[in-house]
Amino acid sequence: MTTGPLLMGVVNVTPDSFSDGGRWLEPDAAIAHGRELLAEGADILDIGGESTRPGATRPLLEEELGRVVPVITALAAEGATISVDTMRAEVAEAALAAGARILNDVSGGLADPRILEVAAAADVPYVAMHWRAHSDHMRDFATYDGPGGVVGAVCDELGARVDALLAAGIRPERIILDPGLGFAKGAEHNWELLAHLDRLAALGYPLLVGASRKTFLGRLLADDSGSPRPVDQREAANVALTTELARARVWGIRVHDVRSSRDALRVVARLEQEGAR
């Protein structure tokens, strides 16, 4: 029985994602990886066909559709709960038709406002992430000089997105918010947001957090020369963060290595069970 946050296992059907670009590009490989993540304890599979790493360029619509629809179709047919990671209304529509049940839009409707209409009409959960610009130039927007700093800005800007979602007809109980770690944010911005998740939770909506394998963890673990820890060697730090996110009562945690995060959640749940006696 699942306790604590939901674990959203990442299936990148892309050639250029920062963590595992190309490993699951072919449909059969992506489907097999999705099955593996489910066996390891994933509650949701987040399937995306567009890399959003810093500097990434966007695929054509046809490319994104060709990457995600076959994978969603196969895994949804096997009973998996599928989230589609997309900023495009056309991809959202096709993914829902293929069996997806959650829309995870890193732009929160800013990249393609029509996706909000799709979410409202389908009446499915919609994840709105804090976002300021596409990946190829988002670093230009990593400035938070207002009196509330990055936490105040993210709260204000996500609040504005909530207003837009509600105006589009998305029901409040379908809205999930994501602080957007690494998106138009430096390492210190990410740590500050993680330390003040209570401020984001005060907006009144469940939170999804995705920190897995991101650069700010690599920089925290840098070697003596200042070189960040390689992507595939950051999991222990991510497990520690998963533990803290569980204690913060977030709704979901987006991860690449499901098994280790599931183990961490089991430890937290067992300790809380003991403490409740």
pLDDT score of 53 more than 80: no
Q: Taking all residues of the chain, what is their mean pLDDT, rounded to a whole number?
A: 94
17-51 pLDDT tens trace: 666 667 888 999 999 999 999 999 999 999 999 98
pLDDT given for residue 2 in this prediction: 47
Q: Is 59 in contact with 49 (CB distance < 8 Å)?
A: yes
Q: How confident is the model at residue 1 (pLDDT cuts 50, 70, 90)?
A: very low
Q: How confident is the model at residue 169 (pLDDT cuts 50, 70, 90)?
A: very high
Q: Has 214 been annotated as catalytic?
A: yes
**Predicted TM-score of the model (pTM):** 0.94
Sheet holding 126-129, edge to edge: 175-178, 126-129, 102-105, 82-85, 44-48, 6-12, 252-255, 208-209
Q: How confident is the model at residue 140 (pLDDT cuts 50, 70, 90)?
A: confident
Q: Is 91 helix (H, G, I), strand (E, B) or coil?
A: helix
pLDDT given for residue 51 in this prediction: 85
The mean per-residue pLDDT over the stretch 248-257 comes to: 96
DSSP-H helix ranges across the chain: 27-39, 61-77, 89-98, 114-122, 149-167, 187-195, 197-201, 215-220, 235-247, 258-275
pLDDT given for residue 196 in this prediction: 97
82-130 pLDDT tens trace: 999 999 999 999 999 999 999 999 999 999 999 999 999 999 999 999 9
The mean per-residue pLDDT over the stretch 65-69 comes to: 97
- The distance from CA 59 to its chain's CA centroid, rounded to whole angstroms, is 19
145-167 pLDDT tens trace: 988 999 999 999 999 999 999 99
pLDDT score of 184 more than 60: yes
pLDDT given for residue 134 in this prediction: 84
Residue 213 vs residues 90, 135, 156, 236: alpha-carbon distances, Å: 29, 17, 27, 10
The mean per-residue pLDDT over the stretch 240-256 comes to: 96
Catalytically annotated residue among 214, 229, 234, 262: 214
> The CATH number of 6-276 is which of 3.40.109.10, 3.20.20.70, 3.50.50.60, 3.20.20.20?
3.20.20.20
pLDDT given for residue 139 in this prediction: 87
